[in-house]
């Protein structure tokens, strides 16, 4: 899995930033990037959350969701998946499970629709810095054997090679009015 940021994607695609650092600007910037990517690539947004009634804590009943946007040339509607993570989990765990859920549905989608000779990039947009760090820095992932085991199960190297697939984790702001991101 490659870890990239929005500016990495924008370079070479004539998508320029005015340098303004507001969430609204970032929403517009991300929207332009998505418009460029959606024709040839699978885009995925994920999120995780925890409900903890009567408590300001970050542990409680958690869930995650993933929204997959197929390549627009395939003219297929977005796919939405969600699942419960647990009853005593952290927001971080829900965010991580959202990435894993996204990887699963993206790989399954590509396996079902793969046209021979196509190479797919799956762009997973993630707004959780800690989850980005765990997945994007391999030495951090090795510190979390339970997550590493799940990733290896999902991303069997032979399976990804068979479908010509590269997963790219994109760091972004969350909850900024971007279609697909809660």
Per-residue model confidence (pLDDT) at position 1: 66
Nearest of 106, 98, 123 to residue 159 by alpha carbon? 106
Write phi, then psi, for 66 (nearest 5 degrees): -140, 140
Per-residue model confidence (pLDDT) at position 80: 92
- Our separate counts of H helices and E strands in the chain read 7, 6
Give the Cα separation of 159 and 147 in Å (integer).
19
Per-residue model confidence (pLDDT) at position 17: 57
Of 3.30.420, 3.30.230, 3.40.50, 3.30.70, which CATH number belongs to 2-171?
3.30.420
Per-residue model confidence (pLDDT) at position 68: 92
Is residue 172 within 8 Å of 126, Cβ to Cβ? yes
Residue ranges per structural domain of the chain: 2-171
| DSSP letter assigned to residue 30 | H
Per-residue model confidence (pLDDT) at position 126: 87
114, with CB counted inside 10 A (0-12, 13-18, 19+), is: middle
Q: What angle do CA 17, 20, 22 make, to 5 degrees?
A: 115
Would residue 12 be called left, alpha or beta, if left means φ above 0 and alpha means ψ between -120 and 50 degrees? left
Per-residue model confidence (pLDDT) at position 24: 45
Is residue 134 within 8 Å of 126, Cβ to Cβ? no
Per-residue model confidence (pLDDT) at position 23: 44
Pairing of strands 42-51, 120-126: parallel
| Furthest C-alpha separation in the chain | 54
Would residue 115 be called left, alpha or beta, if left means φ above 0 and alpha means ψ between -120 and 50 degrees? beta
pLDDT along the chain (182 residues), means of 10: 67 59 58 81 88 68 91 80 90 90 87 68 87 78 80 69 77 62 50
């Amino acid at each position: 899995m490659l870890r990239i940021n929005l500016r990495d994607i924008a370079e070479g695609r004539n998508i320029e930033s005015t340098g303004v650092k507001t969430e609204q600007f970032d929403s517009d910037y991300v929207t332009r990037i998505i418009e460029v990517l959606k024709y040839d690539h699978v885009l995925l947004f994920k999120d995780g959350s925890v409900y903890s009634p009567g408590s300001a804590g970050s542990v409680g009943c958690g869930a995650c969701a993933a929204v997959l946007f197929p390549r627009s040339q395939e003219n297929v509607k977005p796919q939405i998946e969600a699942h419960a993570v647990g009853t005593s989990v952290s927001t971080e765990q829900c965010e991580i499970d959202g990435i894993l859920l996204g990887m699963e549905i993206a790989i399954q989608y590509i396996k079902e629709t793969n046209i021979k000779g196509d190479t797919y990039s799956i762009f997973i947009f993630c707004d959780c810095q800690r989850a980005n760090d765990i997945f994007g820095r391999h030495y951090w992932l090795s510190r979390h054997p339970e997550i590493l085991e799940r990733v290896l199960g999902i991303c069997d190297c032979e399976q990804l090679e068979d479908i010509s697939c590269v997963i790219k984790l994109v760091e972004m702001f969350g909850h900024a009015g971007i279609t697909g991101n809660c």
